[in-house]
A and B are shown apart, each in its own frame.
Chain A
Amino acid sequence: MSYIIDRRLNGKNKSMVNRQRFLRRYRGHIKDAVQDAVNRRSITDMDRGEQISIPTKNTHEPRIGHGQGGRQHRVYPGNKEFNTGDELEKPQGGGGGQGSGQASNQGEGEEDFTFAITREEFLNYLFDDLALPNMVKQSLARTKNFKTRRAGFVSEGTPNNLSVVKSMRNAHARRIGMGAGKRRKLKELEAALADAENRGDSGAVATLKADIADLERRLKKIPFLDDIDLRYRNQVKVPVPTSKAVMFCLMDVSGSMTQDVKDMAKRFYLLLYLFLERNYEQIEIVFIRHHTSAKEVTEEEFFYSRETGGTIVSSALKLMNEIVKSRYDENEWNIYAAQASDGDNWDDDSPQCAEILRNELLPVVQYFSYIEITPHNHQALWEAYQQVGSEFKKNFAMAQIRGPEDIFPVFRELFSKEQYEEAI
């Protein structure tokens, strides 16, 4: 007696809970791997999963078993030339070597246990570090939004999209078109019939009447509605944000900025980038680094090349202003800027920075964020910026940062604005 059951429609994710348990247990390892990946990857490349490796000794479940050594007899198949009493050289390096099936299961050849985490999981671990509010996490992790839009009519589609009016109109046109010749003929025949009746030619009347009946029958046979008449409303998916944004990353690369500080700054740029990615279809990034003079560079150079020397912040702001003027028309582009520094500036330069921000940049940018990564007291630059901040509350934010969890408050205004817009 047998029953055959189709279980394919049952859920396939029976192991999801256990998988989550595993991820939870090795949270520390996974977090480290995500950190590494963040430092390694480009800012524009955070939106995918990651391969995680955990040393096997950490995931190993201990069991009581025999170790190597002792005296063992083992049987193997496939003897070719051995005879009883033959002696064979033991492989170098001691231990059982490759021949001993059971023994080599453990011990040597420790490979890492590798597996993949998904994009969502990756972002989750990333956001964990940044102490993002849940709402923000959700809106950042969300995939692109699409809106369906009407886009004319097509001849194939699903019945629910059938456009009755358009289809009927088509049918009507087809009926007229297909019947035109016959109707003309019919008119001629009717005229001839009237003529023949007047003449009293009964033979001609009979044939004409038969012809007319035949034509009318054929006219009737033209289908009222045919497959080729049907028209369906066409729907296309359009990504919702269709505007363009440019993001300026400004960073002080003078000698006092260590790699750790730069890595922290990278998370700051990253967060802004992820935000922009959700809201704009096309994003360009401009990296500007500066010491006493500013230069536009590639991402690689931006984060990983070292410079020394003094610091003139206004040089970077000037360069940004020039680039905006020459390449990014404020009417066409949404301009965002993120600046990171350790707070050092040449004293006389700070008022100048404030001046550029106030008069040139802040009127055109959507949002300008500044972080100061320093455990020390603030210097002139901070005060000058604070001044500016009090005048431009809407689109200027700044914060002092000690750890990655301090980064988010800089963007609070930005994200709450988005939430507000979403709520509408």
Chain B
Amino acid sequence: MSNYISTDSDWTFALLEEYDSEIARVAAHYRLDTYPNQIEVISAEQMMDAYSSVGMPIGYNHWSYGKQFLATQKGYQRGQMGLAYEIVINSNPCIAYLMEENTLPMQALVIAHACYGHNSFFKNNYLFRTWTDAGSIIDYLVFAKNYVRKCEERYGQDEVEQVLDACHALQNYGVDRYRRPKPISAAEERMRQEEREEIRQQQLNDLWRTLPTKKQNGDAAQKKRKFPSEPQENILYFIEKNAPLLQPWQRELVRIVRKISQYFYPQRQTQVMNEGWATFWHYTLLNHLYDEGKVNDGFMMEFLTSHTNVVYQPGFDSPYFSGINPYALGFNMFQDIKRICEDPTDEDREWFPDIAGKNWLDTLHFAMRDFKDESFIQQFLSPKLMRDFHLFSIYDDEAADHYRVDAIHNDSGFRRLRETLARQYDLSVREPNIQITNVDIEGDRSITLRHTQQDGMPLAGDTYEVLKHIHLLWGFDVHLESWDGDKMLKRMSCPSISVEL
């Protein structure tokens, strides 16, 4: 009498439940701590819907999501692109979508991957714990959707669209990188929203007071008030609080985009880890079931085929190459950590003295909890893995005629490679450093942004378009200065022309 949960490849709801409970049992064995799961079976069309709202189950209406939808639909219908097997949402309960077209082994893979892998990552990684509140996100999205709709009814679709367009252009600059935010709570949000409108206006009026202050005695008058006193990196926050001409509802829209962008901030920083963790666990959990004799060889063959495709890393010269595959890198790193713990070589003992030979499960949980992509790679990428991936680093100087290979997978190159790769995942390197340095509050009310150039990299060509959007929100002149050290390279103004210095 066989022990198999199923031998067929067609799924039923009863079988899904059975697989889910088996996987949950094994996950608990490995101490995976998760939010409750809400597994939703959807059709391919619904999957396309979910795709185009950037994975938000509820979103306010905006043309850019329509554009996304049309692109997805076209790609799918022409067969250029398959749909993802799953989408999972960082919420409590954790919502995961399964596509009805999937076979049973695929559904089991997705349950293990999303409902136990991603889910436990969402619940435990420090960035997610710091930046997002899984319990209230759905409520907040509902609040946002309704608020945007109300604004459209009251002020017109075009007005609302204009503000949202502008905010979207700045959405990566709506996060405090260094300060811990307060979690968003929808109920509170709604209650405080009206209150906020009034208070905000009062503060603004104070800031932008044009009446002379009571005493204009020499010293104070000479010294120009500097505002903001410190450079501000959260552009949307600054606009929300200080833009002179915005209506209260427009400030609220800025806030909505900012809050949602903040919700996605951890995901942008943990792609390798998050996918790697989920992939590691679907692999480990399903293999565990196989070892227990719960699934048969056919099941494993199908599962392994998909798994192998997911973690395939084409070389740089392959036509399929499109950057480093986060699934491949992440999965292999977690596997490698386990190997270092269980079966370390001398090299591993030298490079990882504190984890070699330790309990692998403890180490893995530690690695998942307290790192982001950048630090994770910096900390755990082993020489063996660099050799396996045949990694090499290219130095590209605009001024030189050649690319130079500046490190390869050998003894002298390991550290350098690891550092370079880690930097590649550092958001503060990936995105230009732009801060608000000055607002001319007593003069023409213009706002000045300062771009601090890194490694001589200029801003992208459509930066001026973004300035237009900032101008729309701010209402007065916007200047953007590019600095390399203490040398100003370029100054753009909107509305105006740009000047090369």
In the complex, whether A255 has a CB less than 8 A from a CB of chain B is: no
Query: Is there contact, CB below 8 Å, between A2 and B115?
Result: yes
Residues on the A chain within 8 Å of B431, using CB: 64-66
- Complex CA gap A107/B21 in Å reads 49
Chain B positions within 8 Å of A86 at CB level:
404-405
> Which residues from chain A contact B201 at a C-beta distance below 8 Å?
none
Give the distance in Å from the alpha carbon of A417 to the alpha carbon of B74 in the complex.
Answer: 42
Evaluate contact between A84 and B460: CB separation under 8 angstroms: no
Q: Which residues of A contact B255 (CB under 8 A)?
A: none
The 3 tightest CB contacts between A and B, nearest first, are: A78-B315, A22-B66, A70-B457
Taking chain B's interface residues, is the majority helix, strand, or loop, or is none over half, making it mixed? mixed
Give the complex CA separation of A8 and B66 in angstroms. 21
Task: Report which A residues bind B (CB closer than 8 A).
Answer: 1-8, 10, 12-15, 17-25, 59-80, 82-90, 96, 99-102, 106-107, 113-116
Smallest Cβ distance from A144 to chain B, in angstroms?
Answer: 26
Number of A-B contacts (CB under 8 A): 265
Contact check, B313 vs A8: say whether CB atoms are below 8 A apart. Answer: no
A241 to chain B, nearest CB (A): 34
- What are 15 pairs between A and B in contact, CB < 8 Å? A8-B42, A18-B53, A22-B69, A61-B64, A63-B172, A66-B458, A67-B458, A73-B406, A76-B394, A79-B392, A84-B410, A101-B322, A101-B323, A102-B323, A113-B71
Q: Which residues of B contact A67 (CB under 8 A)?
A: 457-461
Q: Using Cβ atoms and an 8 Å threshold, which residues of chain A touch B172?
A: 63-64
Given the known interface contacts A73-B406, A77-B390, the answer about A1 and B460 at a Cβ–Cβ threshold of 8 Å is: no
- B37 CB-CB contact with A under 8 Å: yes
**Residues of chain B lying within 8 A (CB to CB) of residue A113:** 67, 70-71
Nearest residue (CB) in A for B171 is A63
Q: A79-B409, A84-B405 are in contact. Are A8 and B43 (CB under 8 A)?
A: yes
- B143-179 interface bits toward A, Cβ cutoff 8 Å, 1 = contact, 0 = none: 0000000000000010001000100111011000000
**Contact B316–A14 (Cβ < 8 Å):** no
CA distance A96 to B397 in the complex (A): 10
Cα(A20)–Cα(B455), bound, Å:
43
Given A77-B391, A78-B317, CB of A84 within 8 Å of CB of B469:
no
| Range of interface residues on B (Cβ < 8 Å) | 35 or more
Closest Cβ of chain B to A168, distance in Å, is 43
Q: Which residue of A lies closest to B94 (CB)?
A: A2
Closest to A91 in B: B403
CB pair B37–A85 under 8 Å, yes or no, is no
CA–CA, A330 and B458, complex, Å: 76
| Whole-angstrom CA separation of A8 from B13 in the bound complex | 13
Bound complex: CA A7 to CA B410 (Å): 52
Question: Interface readout for B92-115 with A: 1 if CB under 8 Å, 0 if not?
Answer: 010001001000000000000001
The residue that A80 contacts in the complex, of B20, B64, B324, B390, with Cβ under 8 A, is B390
Contacts of B403 in A (CB 8 A): 87-90
Cβ-defined contact, B408 with A106, below 8 A: no
A354 to chain B, nearest CB (A): 53
The reply on B87 being an interface residue by CB < 8 A is: no
> Which DSSP category, helix, strand, loop or mixed, fits chain A's interface?
loop
Asked if residues B62 and A21 are in contact (CB atoms below 8 Å), the reply is yes
The answer to whether B460 and A87 have CB atoms under 8 Å apart is: no
Contact B460 A106 (CB under 8 A): yes
Q: Is the CB of B39 within 8 A of A66?
A: no
Cβ contact within 8 Å between A10 and B46: yes
Bound: A22/B72 CA distance, A: 14
Residue from the set B49, B67, B74 with the largest chain A CB neighbour count within 10 Å: B67
Q: How far is the CA of A366 from the CA of B452 in the complex (A)?
A: 77
Question: Inside 8 A of A62's CB, which chain B residues have their CB?
Answer: 169, 462-463, 465-466, 469
Query: Which of B239-247, B344-352, B360-368, B419-427 lines the interface with chain A?
Result: B419-427
| C-alpha gap A114/B75 in the complex (Å) | 10
In contact, A72 and B63 (Cβ under 8 angstroms): no
CA–CA, A255 and B102, complex, Å: 64
Residue of A nearest to B24 (CB): A2
Do A7 and B42 touch across chains, with their CB atoms under 8 A apart? yes
| Minimal beta-carbon separation of A342 from chain B (angstroms) | 41
Residue of A4, A59, A76 near B391 (CB, 8 A) is: A76
Q: Does B486 contact A (CB under 8 A)?
A: no
CA distance in complex: A25, B16 (Å): 43
